[in-house]
A and B are shown apart, each in its own frame.
Chain A
Amino acid sequence: MSLVELKDVTVRQGAQTVLQHVDLSVRSAEILTIVGPNGSGKSTLLRTIIGAIRPTGGQVVRKAGLRIGYVPQKLHIDPTLPLTVRRFLSLPDRVSDDAAARALSHAGAEGVSSQQMASLSGGQFQRVLLARALLSRPDLLILDEATQGLDQPGSAAFYRQIEAVRRDLGCAVLMVSHELHVVMAASDRVICLNGHVCCEGAPEHVASAPEYRALFGTGTQGALALYRHEHNHTHDHAHGTGHAQSHDHKHDKDRAAS
């Protein structure tokens, strides 16, 4: 049985259609990763799943009593708000010192309990966010670009932690990421999103799909192509035949304009 199912979900924000006709389901205990270029609706998709955004069309079906642990992309804490790590872990529900310590150790952030949130390093901060998400004993852990601002070894370590968490706690993991090469190795299933679901399947399958290559480049250069994609928005790679006709991708328009 799937934990969350999206049926033909469309989300419009103002005049813009961010997601159209998205079908997706998250199964228990799987690691599902969503990849896609900037502005492809990844964060919108996650926020629709947690209920922060109401879809314009279609429906989101959550398993009854589903517990979600959410790790946001970034968390700004106003400097006027004093907050220790220990206090943060008790939001919104109070947890025992024992449970808090266990969650911190699961997330790989032992011994920071009495520190102020504002004093943590980027890596520690993300791990504390993860620890808090684990405390609700989630069936589904949702991470939105959780490694943003971490360096390469830092984010690789973070993903190993996620795998360990899944192994130890048995929760499903739904995450969004840019770091394809790291993420794809750690995922059971990958969905490539660009306003709609371009393609989905096992990581190897998606990596070789023409739709995916159209967005991210080919072969082992995928990660590099993505990097270029983000920084100067050029799309000088070859398209899979037939792909350009079947989908209305942004990059097609970009190329036509250049």
Chain B
Amino acid sequence: MTFLDDFLIRAALAGLGVAIAAAPLGCLVVWRRMAYFGDATAHAAILGVALALTFQTSVFAGVLAVSLAMAAVISGLSGRGYAMDTLLGVLAHSAIAFGLVAVSFLSGVRIDLMAYLFGDILAVSKTDLGVIWGGAVLVLLLIRWRWSALLTTTLNPDLAHAAGLDPKREQLVLTVALALVVAVAIKVIGALLIAAMLIIPAAAARPFASTPERMALIAGGIGALSVLGGLQASYHFDTPTGPSIVCVSAVLFIAASLSDLVGRRIGRR
């Protein structure tokens, strides 16, 4: 596949993979008000990078393991005295601080910290591309399989119980999916901005959607548009790619909110 020799095409494909996997998951994160949960899981990824480099395993495996551990710690600690936002504030920032300190001990290895904080989509290799799309497809399959149960649980845990579903199990599915997305997205968008790829396209899609499925589809479209637009902008203006992608999706979010506002004004008249 010679077309994959072009680094821009690899970058675009990597970004699209992340955008598509992040869309339905991002919607669930928004509906369940788990935005900070996503943030904390993503920030823990830096610690995962440090551990992976220390033990010389793949960054993907290290990030996945630490993100899962982080999610487990949050789930375990929730409802034990501290409000959820306090708990997540403590954990998210501690995770990134410990991660940065841990990386500084790795004096023997020269690593580009910025690449892990903000992503390095232009350096995506063919192997990376395989990992990203493998992970993305896995996340999509997982969410598609549990979609109805996840929606029911999101709506009301008691409704799920009465239908014979276990909300705890669905929470676990969501946690695993989130850790997977973080692990595949760190190369593309970086630990600090992963949550943006989850939340901004989903939020931008809300005004145009009448059902949950449509919202996920539109979010996927907006995410894909952000990736392609961000790559273009970064190429033309020589700006960092990850932040450029997030900027484009933020602009799309503002446009969506404004058009919704205008639409309502006209509708009311």
Contacts and interface: CB of A to CB of B under 8 A. Distances in A.
Contact of B209 (A70, A76, A82, A88): A82
B162 A78 contact: no
Given A80-B30, A92-B160, A93-B148, A75 B214 contact: no
Interface stretch (A18-26, A45-53, A100-108, A231-239): A45-53
A178 interface: no
Interface stretch (B42-50, B90-98, B116-124, B150-158): B150-158
Contacts of A94: 148
A182 interface: no
The winner among A81, A90, A116 for most chain B CB atoms within 10 A is A81
Contacts, number: 76
A75 B162 contact: no
Given A75-B156, A136-B163, A82 B215 contact: yes
Nearest to A133: B162
Given A81-B31, A81-B154, A92-B148, A72 B159 contact: yes
A142 interface: yes
Interface in A96-129: 116
The DSSP consensus for interface residues of chain B is helix
A70 B30 contact: no
A199 interface: no
Interface string B186-223: 00000000000000001100100111111100000000
A50 B158 contact: yes
Interface SS of chain A: loop
A75 B155 contact: yes
Nearest to A43: B158
A87 interface: yes
Given A92-B160, A92-B163, A80 B31 contact: yes
Given A50-B161, A78-B32, A80-B203, 19 more contacts: A50-B158, A51-B162, A52-B161, A70-B158, A75-B159, A78-B33, A81-B31, A82-B214, A83-B211, A84-B211, A88-B155, A91-B148, A91-B155, A91-B159, A92-B151, A92-B152, A94-B148, A116-B210, A142-B162
17 contacts: A52-B157, A52-B161, A68-B163, A70-B158, A70-B161, A72-B158, A72-B159, A78-B32, A80-B203, A81-B154, A81-B155, A81-B212, A82-B211, A84-B211, A87-B213, A92-B152, A136-B163
